[in-house]
Amino acid sequence: MQTATYSHVGSLDIKVDFQVPPSVKVGVLPGVIFFHGGGMVAGSRHEYFPWMPGSAHGKGMIFFTADYRLIHPSTGFDIIDDIRRLFAFLADPSFSKTYLPNGISLDPTRLAVMAASGGGYPARAAALYAQPKPKAVFLLYGMGGKFLGDHWLAAKDPTVTLGPRDRLVDDETAARIISEQVSPVADSPIIAPQSGDFQPGPRSLLFRHWWRTGELLDHVLGEPVSADLRVLSAADRLAAVPAHLRPALLEAQYDGSFPPTFLLHGGADTTVPLEESQATFDTLRKLGVAVEMEVVPGGPHGLLVSLSPIKYAPGAEEAQERGMIFLARYLSRSGAKL
């Protein structure tokens, strides 16, 4: 992988890694940009699954994996700004001239985005706000489809967990972690590089804390709104979100120009519930957007039954490849289906 800095925010460099298909020596190539998971509060561009670049390269795509500012002290508005900057950086002819091998260039009119879990938010932001607009979207158990639902807004019992790997954190510890996060962060790994094991740091604890308190949306939008919203019926919540905050509530911004989208989710996901993808599917279909959705029966969050070594739920690997074929279909020069 090569690395480039696509944006600077104060002393923070925000980076993107990329790799050209090894077998391609000349050509104007499409690309796919991956946004990592981590609940929007943690994670790193280095945390992608090996099948992703392999599948992308096999379809003639340049594979990108990008960092973005993480929630707290940054907000969804900052992530939107990062995504706009990333696409502008890649669309500038100087990117290909500076970073790609002689004879190879990126076609910025043929970019797609894909994302896992919390990366669903920047991927959706790209679909809504990036220029040039991505040609297609592949969301794997992606967040950002139903922030107004009870999963994110309801206050839970302090002893409730998201699963066996979850760690409880008390209010005092959470307040200390929050107070220590004073500078923007764009790279906060949650996977041990050597062992591949899950290693949640303090920022990951914030995601779990805000899920229990029902306050994650406050930090996505940058203002405390959750307490007022959770007492309303689901049908009344959107109207109660202040107008100046709605651009960062991405689920309320979809229209018929949203790119063709492939959604993949595990049927037993308790971290990002299936209703997140279902809500996106239903909305996009009503808008006339080309959209497909697959559910892996019994699949947990991440579609993994083991992280080290990696082992997927039955049917997950085949569904993941169908998502990549979907992207390739819309990145073809003619835009015609393969």
Q: Which residue has the tokens 């002819």?
A: 93
Name the nearest CA neighbour of 40 among 197, 147, 162, 193: 147
Is residue 285 one of the residues assigned to a domain? yes
Q: What's the token pair of residue 227?
A: 């307490």
Q: What pLDDT score does 336 carry?
A: 31
Residue 207 lies in a domain: yes
Note whether residue 59 is domain-resident.
yes
> What would the pLDDT profile of 106-165 be if each residue is shown by its tens digit?
999 999 999 999 999 999 999 999 999 999 999 999 999 999 999 999 999 888 878 767
- Find the helix or strand (DSSP H, E) in which 212 lies: helix 202-213
What are 254-264's pLDDT values in tens digits? 999 999 999 99
**Gyration radius of the chain over CA positions:** 19
224 is written with which tokens? 């405390």
**Omega prior to 309 cis, within 30 of 0:** yes
- pTM here is 0.95
Would residue 337 count as lying in a domain? no
H or E element, residue 78: helix 76-91
Structure tokens at 50: 């090996």
User: What is the DSSP code (8-state) at residue 172?
Assistant: H
The answer to whether residues 36 and 119 touch, using CB atoms and an 8 Å cutoff, is: yes
pLDDT value at residue 166: 74
Return the H-helix or E-strand segment holding 123.
helix 120-129
Using CA atoms, how far apart are residues 45 and 60, in angstroms rounded to an integer?
A: 21
User: Closest by alpha carbon to 111, among 86, 79, 148, 94?
Assistant: 86
The confidence score (pLDDT) of residue 334 equals: 44
Q: Which residues pair with 32 in a beta bridge?
A: 63, 112
Residue 61 belongs to a domain: yes
DSSP conformation letters of 22-47 = TT--SEEEEEEEEE--STTTSB-TT-
Residue 37 belongs to some domain of the structure: yes
Strands 12-19 and 62-66: antiparallel
Please name the residue that has the structure tokens 């091998």: 101
- Across the 338 residues of the chain, what is the mean pLDDT of every consecutive 10-residue run? 97 97 94 97 95 97 98 97 98 97 97 98 98 98 97 91 76 89 91 68 89 97 98 97 98 98 97 97 98 97 88 97 98 53
Does 305 fall in a domain? Answer: yes
The confidence score (pLDDT) of residue 201 equals 79
Report the CATH number at residue 20: 3.40.50.1820
Q: E strands within the chain?
A: 2-9, 12-19, 27-35, 62-66, 104-116, 136-140, 261-266, 291-296, 304-307, 310-312
Enclosing domain of residue 67 = 2-331
Count: domains in the chain: 1
Q: Is residue 338 part of a domain?
A: no
